[in-house]
Structure 1
């Protein structure tokens, strides 16, 4: 199962770290670590990114949860991507786990996205009328020397250039295994629902990226504690209320996919708070950033075959 896979990978990584006197921590941004102190992974790809992006690459000390959902037909996938753009802020609000940056409280629940926005070709993509329009866009970027391959398109959601998947890249890395699986299952259910609706010729109005960016900012700033805009009704609505509507929207898929346990955990996140909320609560209680790091480590090791 996906759960076994995640637990197994984390356990192996934690064991390797332990052999070197280290511990692992899964989080959107490290509360204390400074990017200037970090080594950059060796390899041609990272060397090229560093050459292209310079200080932007050096400062990119962030960690995301990327979720792939298989859609074998790329023509269909581009239309599902268009539709899924609307829900990216909702998903991010649930996943915010990066309130601290180089020892400072940023005042944002999800600072990671703001760090990554410094790169080109990030954020919510425009809608594409067809696969050919998207492919023409990619070809133009390659032809004009903007990129050497479509892997350097780093949107919040993208048609993966190698795998037959839609890749949702907006989420912060999650500390708890349960949070990771719940958010992945929600994304799977959303994509599955939109795929089936498209096959039935049922689609929603596509909103401009600049409008969706307003909700993306609200999710970044407030997580699940703010309001998002319901563009259909042109009104602000509590984020938790819209998330409840989203859970109702995907309920049939959840039953079919067997992810009821994960959706129950989404409801727990809505009740008890996000990873960012837990980090902020620990810091408010202790006024000690190291205590926040300890909490992240403890959550990362929950349910593993290795103790923290």
Structure 2
């Protein structure tokens, strides 16, 4: 199933963090989407100890990744340094799930074997508009813990979707959603919430069946909202729009870090793990309504702020243990002042689409 033996339990990496983000490249003057990510990346080098910067499927974006980090503050500091390096190389960047005014079909694909394979599989689905996400990896001590933490974090996916909605506009129009990116991504095969797994062997068997049925090269072509990542020895949370605000990334990373640590010690719920179908429905409600959503939680539809504060209360002791408690407090600001989608709509109300784009560029360039 994996390209090599699982990498869980690497010394010094138990519950370590990795942060990855995809950012869109725009013209500095017009702020329109521009397919210059590969050109910008060619103008700077990132030493291994500072993380990495790579192209991805679309030429209009860059992927920045932290090195292995101890906590959320370090992870976001590393991302901030990579953003600065990209700007110094001449890249104008926005952190959002999609470009708010990108024209349908304004797409150029990066010519590399992996991306050629994705293009061959997805065809027109990949030719709509570039999509960008935030991914958080948490290192796992062993395969059994990875599956247990995966199952536990899976329960929080709708909440994370609600907190991170940052693509309310598509093709110049208000989509009516907090994250249009999430719904575009749902059009991909394997772009959903997977089931809970009993054991790592259960995960391997399920993945092998999907890879065979889809004639996919390997398990990294399973674009689930969350997945164990044996090749890296992590659990990877993937359900989130890219963010313009570094402070928001810090809060999200701190929350995921602490909830992963909490999940490692938690028992299986008495009623078992949530059904995929229920999580998918809550995920849609979160993607549609953002912070205003009500989601199924403890058997009842519950407002997102109430769920978020319950998650933070559960996470806080572990955040202190991990050194991520300062970052965790950033989520209170999100609940009070609004998420990315709310800030984009407020900018639009002030000055139309140009104000939205200026807001995103400014916030993406801002220091932590």
Structure ranking higher on relative contact order (CA contacts 8 Å, 6+ apart): 1
Q: Show the counterpart of 1:77.
A: 146
User: Against the structure 1 CA distance between its residues 144 and 97, is the aligned structure 2 distance closer, same or farther, given a 3 Å change threshold?
Assistant: closer
**Are positions 1:217 and 2:284 aligned together?**
yes
2:361 counterpart of 1:297? yes
- 1:1-308 matches, within 5 Å, as 1-16=74-89, 18=90, 22-197=91-266, 202-204=267-269, 205-230=272-297, 232=298, 234-286=299-351, 288-303=352-367
Does structure 1 conserve the Cα–Cα contact (< 8 Å) formed by 2:76 and 2:249? no
> How many matched pairs?
293
TM-score (norm 1): 0.91
Q: Distance in 1 between matches of 2:335 and 2:180?
A: 20
Q: Secondary structure of the residue that 1:24 maps to in structure 2?
A: strand
Q: Deviations over 1:210-243 (max 9, x none)?
A: 011121111101111121122x3x3222110111
Structure 2 contact 106–129 (Cα < 8 Å) conserved:
no
SS of 1:123's partner is coil
Unaligned 5+ segments in structure 2 are: 1-73
TM-superposed deviation, 1:91: 1.2
Q: Is the 8 A contact 1:108 1:221 kept in 2?
A: yes
Q: Do the aligned partners of 1:60 and 1:115 also contact (CA within 8 Å) in 2?
A: no
Query: Displacement, 1:271?
Result: 0.3
Are the equivalent residues in 1 in contact too, given 2:144–2:199 (CA < 8 A)? yes
Greater share of helix? 1
Question: Counterpart of 1:68 in 2: which secondary structure?
Answer: strand
Alpha-carbon offset, residue 257 of structure 1: 1.4
Shift of 1:29: 1.1
Q: CA deviation at 1:144?
A: 4.1
TM-score (norm 2): 0.77
Which moved further from structure 2: 265-274 or 135-144?
Answer: 135-144
> In structure 1, how many angstroms separate the alpha carbons of the residues matched to 2:237 and 2:93?
24
Moved over 6 A (4+): none
Distance in structure 2 (CA, Å) of the matches to 1:195 and 1:297: 38
